[in-house]
Amino acid sequence: MPDGFDPGMTPRLADPLPDLRALQARDPIHWAERYRAWLVTRWEDVRAGLNDPRLSTMRAMPEPEAFPEDFRAVFADYRRYLDPWMVMRDPPDHTRLRGLVNKGLTPSAIEGLRPRIAALVDGLLAEMPGTGEFDLIPSFAYPLPAAVIAELIGVPERVVDDLKRWSDGLATSTSTGKDIYAEAAAAVSEMGAYLAGFVAERRRRPGNSVVDALIAAHDGQSRLDADELIGNLILLLFAGHETTTNLLANGLRTLLLNPAQMAALRANLDDADLVRNAIEEILRYDGALFLSLRVARTGFDWDGRSIRPGDRVFLYHLAANHDPAVFDRPERFDIRRPDAGKHIAFGYGIHFCLGAPLARLEMEIALPALLRRYPNLRLADPAIAWKDNFTLRGPKSLLLIADGSLDT
């Protein structure tokens, strides 16, 4: 194991790959005693682990009675709204929940957002400064996917500011701090209260969005209970923007650190196939999903390692996507890489990210528009503070300097 390797610190490193690649080469299924977890880093193993029925996405949470009395009701809300998240359920519950949610995230519904996404991109870029320093996160990378997912689900755009506050609180549940429940539980409780009122109003005045499809499934087929409905709306609102925010920021940073590839992309922004391949390479090279957590449901042998019931398993997407057994010269960022799409940045198998087509569409529209408007961009400071998040990887801010005038 690399000296000083710390799974809790690794997502916050500017370049976590040296440690991960060293682990991949020396001990690709490694037991980390401090975390009581197996660290899995090879592409083949991560891909298999993501779809292995012996590994569960479900995780135990404490009972409300374990907390001080004045926090119990808030934590009870947190638990009842997170327990039914489809990403934390195994079949058959996962199959049922995913099938219901998928009814609202149809390819036609997502593709139908293309004009609206383009309009949102143009509006945000018009409000950003033409020259000087600005932060990509609050000016562009957050408000774009937040507005898109709000519109797709059906919540009013005025909730976007609240969504940021709630999401920041919820994200603390995957931080490495000591108290992982206080802010997250308060955010989920407040978000749940808002959504309960919103759902009640939507029942009186139905529309044609994801929330209406979920309400119809609940009311018409009795297959989705009230907590499942609210809980999975919280999941969609959170995951629907957090991943794309990180992806936009990580992708632009990667391009700026690879000027030859940036120049090649800028010269071919009208080549839709190349733009799409560049996005796949961004996903491979430094995607938003850093690792996935699983828990062993049963004991089994994994390449000579004895996995015990209850053992935690950390499946490192970033390491897998830099596996030299799969990708030639994986450390090289190449927008023309022919097999970039073999990445597992969105997961694999039954838990493959439902929002992947939407994230790709947003990137396909936003990235070329951003590069056209800003022909000369550079990082204000290569030293970036990364979010304290165990599973998702993204910068807290991305300060950029625009030189010259805007393209119009």
Under 8 Å CB-to-CB from 406, ≥6 apart: which residues? 130, 131, 373, 374
Whether 1 is in a domain gets the answer no
Number of domains in the chain: 1
Return all residues near 140 (Cβ < 8 A) that are at least 6 apart.
124, 125, 128, 248, 366, 370
Say how far apart CA 398 and CA 226 lie, in whole Å.
39
Is-contact 324 263, C-beta < 8 A? Answer: no
Q: What is the pLDDT of residues 198-245, one digit of tens each?
A: 999 999 999 888 888 888 876 555 467 888 889 989 998 888 888 999
The answer as to whether 50 is a domain residue is yes
User: Residue 88 sits in a domain of what CATH number?
Assistant: 1.10.630.10
Stretch among 45-59, 76-90, 255-269, 277-291 having the lowest mean pLDDT: 76-90
- The range of the structural domain enclosing residue 43 comes to 10-402
Q: Looking at per-residue confidence, does 156 or 13 come out higher?
A: 156
Bond preceding residue 92 cis, omega within 30 of 0: yes
Pairing of strands 37-40, 312-316: parallel
Which residue did the predictor score with more confidence, 151 or 321?
321
Tokens of 227: 């907590």
Query: Apex CA 118: angle with CA 237 and CA 283, to 5°?
Result: 60
Domain membership of residue 249 (yes or no) is yes
Residue 289 in any domain: the answer is yes
Please, where are the H alpha helices in 344-385? 356-373
Please report, rounded to a whole number, the percentage of residues in the chain having pLDDT higher than 70: 94
Could you report the per-residue pLDDT of 18-33, keeping only the tens digit for each? 999 999 999 999 999 8
CA 13 to chain centre: 18
pTM of the model: 0.91
Q: Tell me: the pLDDT tens digits for 328-364?
A: 999 999 999 999 999 999 999 999 998 999 999 999 9
* Backbone conformation region of residue 308, classed left if phi is above 0, alpha if psi is from -120 to 50, else beta: beta
Query: Poorest-confidence range of 12-16, 189-193, 323-327, 345-349?
Result: 12-16
Instruction: Tell whether 3 is covered by a domain.
Output: no
Report yes or no: 342 and 364 within 8 Å, Cβ to Cβ: no
User: What's the one-letter identity of residue 271?
Assistant: D
What tokens were used for 174?
């995957």
CA distances from residue 121 to 5, 247, 287 in whole angstroms, order as listed: 40, 16, 21
Average of per-residue pLDDT values in the chain: 90
**Secondary structure percentages of the chain, helix, strand, coil, to 5:** 55, 10, 35
